[in-house]
Chains A and B, each alone.
Chain A
């Protein structure tokens, strides 16, 4: 697939320069790109919730109009399943996790329980965690599983998107030339359909940076139109 990041950068520069708003350096662009991607990424989860509410109010559709399905597909593209290793009574979570969807062993899911409930749960005859119905509590980036399980425990989580990085090799006529061969090159991980959103977000950040309020307002207006169209 063609690189999104280069298209986004070219469009951003085109809009910014066209109106003589100013030039955005590659390092600034990378910072704005990271910020914009995170912003849109977080918004998926709020959108997902919002569309569930709409679905329950019967104002969403099915088949091609099934927005929830599309959102789930996008979120699932950030899904990772990896084993977590028992260490000093705790299981450290992966560094790049955004949210833990499930902890499991084989076909048995370990249920997340709040810290305020775990003691009560352990004291209850009927609901005490067991190997059939295990539970875990989270503390910082580590979890405690009740009871202690033997064997491999896996974590399925949604990771953060990787930081986008637009890389270049040298300057040609004063312009950096895009090059995706360096090891630290990273394209946006969001789907192509979010390219417009990315451009609008980056334009807003860039506009603030070069103190061009009309640019910010232009991007905000575009974003609003986009949001209205998406319901």
Chain B
């Protein structure tokens, strides 16, 4: 495939969208990876022969998925407002979250994941606590559990130091210019730093595909930073990987094919395993972009006095 002309790159040859090719030079497409691999690594005089293309395609995609989970740092960001049920539906290509923030008054507030659960499913029960079933023998379930209802209504207390804190609004005693409370907030037992955060909290219900927020998030804007698997909704034409990882992807495919092929000597498999690991390390170092300009900004605070 020919390289893009500069006109194609900058203006997409006058087609829409104009920005379609911007930054594309950083990436190598899935088709190119599979084609190159079949051409260069598969043959009668190569280590790999008689392998179907779909095998290569499978391992190429698996390599790209694995890279997307951690090494690539291809973070996607999505902004949505929280609905009335204090839920945020996970994006269709969501695999794992990186950071969840509340966007309020022009400021991003990073949110804390609740160490307790803030959602639950429930079974319907009668007065004698017997579980109720339908005529097909399935358990009857309410739309929301009590935990959910309390959270949505805002009547649920939390162990965090926000508006729903169980200490919030409690009466105290003002004596000799000092406030005293029945509840020892960071007093007798010390502050629990894990829960010492005034921002709203969240908990992810992975199976249901939603993020459940505490009631103080109602109507607020959420910015979700997450990682996907790079499969772009199954559109092969959109799947690509950073060029810094291209050689690793070939090594990954080679190792995967050789290690699952009958009769390949163990030393060959080991060689390809080492090659794969070394290339991953190399690519990670390259992609980490450690250079003086960046370090300088981080290190500027090293002599700052901490009181």
A55 and B57 contacting across the interface, CB-CB below 8 Å: no
Kindly provide the distance from the CB of B120 to the nearest chain A CB, expressed in whole angstroms. Answer: 31
B44 and A52 contacting across the interface, CB-CB below 8 Å: yes
Is A111 in contact with chain B by the CB < 8 A criterion? yes
Q: Which of these, A121, A126, A128, A130, contacts B62 with CB under 8 Å? A: A126
Residues of B within 8 A of A5 (CB): none
B54 and A133 contacting across the interface, CB-CB below 8 Å: yes
Residues of A within 8 A of B45 (CB): 52, 55-56
Q: Which of these, B30, B54, B58, B62, contacts A111 with CB under 8 Å? A: B54
Is B52 in contact with chain A by the CB < 8 A criterion? yes
Number of interface residues of A (CB under 8 A): 16
A113 and B54 contacting across the interface, CB-CB below 8 Å: yes
Residues of A within 8 A of B57 (CB): 126-127, 133
Is B236 in contact with chain A by the CB < 8 A criterion? yes
Kindly provide the distance from the CB of B231 to the nearest chain A CB, expressed in whole angstroms. Answer: 8
Assembly CA distance A125 to B93 (angstroms): 14
- Given A52-B44, A56-B45, residue A132 in contact with residue B31 (CB < 8 A): yes
Assembly CA distance A125 to B54 (angstroms): 12
Is A153 in contact with chain B by the CB < 8 A criterion? no
A133 and B53 contacting across the interface, CB-CB below 8 Å: yes
8 A Cβ contacts from A109-147 to B: 109, 111, 113, 121, 124-128, 130, 132-133, 135
> Which residue of chain B lies nearest to A111 when distances are taken between CB atoms in the complex?
B53
B44 and A56 contacting across the interface, CB-CB below 8 Å: yes
B44 and A133 contacting across the interface, CB-CB below 8 Å: no
> Which residue of chain B lies nearest to A49 when distances are taken between CB atoms in the complex?
B44
B236 and A130 contacting across the interface, CB-CB below 8 Å: yes
Residues of B within 8 A of A126 (CB): 57-58, 61-62, 231
Kindly provide the distance from the CB of A139 to the nearest chain B CB, expressed in whole angstroms. Answer: 18
Assembly CA distance A39 to B236 (angstroms): 45
Pairs A–B under 8 Å by Cβ, sample size 9: A55-B45, A111-B54, A113-B54, A121-B54, A126-B61, A128-B234, A132-B30, A132-B237, A133-B31
Give residues in B with beta carbon < 8 Å to A.
30-31, 34, 44-45, 52-54, 57-58, 61-62, 231, 234, 236-237
Q: Top 7 closest A-B pairs, CB basis?
A: A132-B236, A127-B54, A52-B44, A111-B53, A126-B61, A127-B58, A126-B58
14 other A-B residue contacts (CB within 8 Å) besides A52-B44, A55-B44, A135-B54? A52-B45, A55-B45, A109-B53, A111-B53, A113-B52, A121-B54, A124-B58, A127-B57, A127-B61, A128-B234, A132-B30, A133-B31, A133-B54, A133-B236
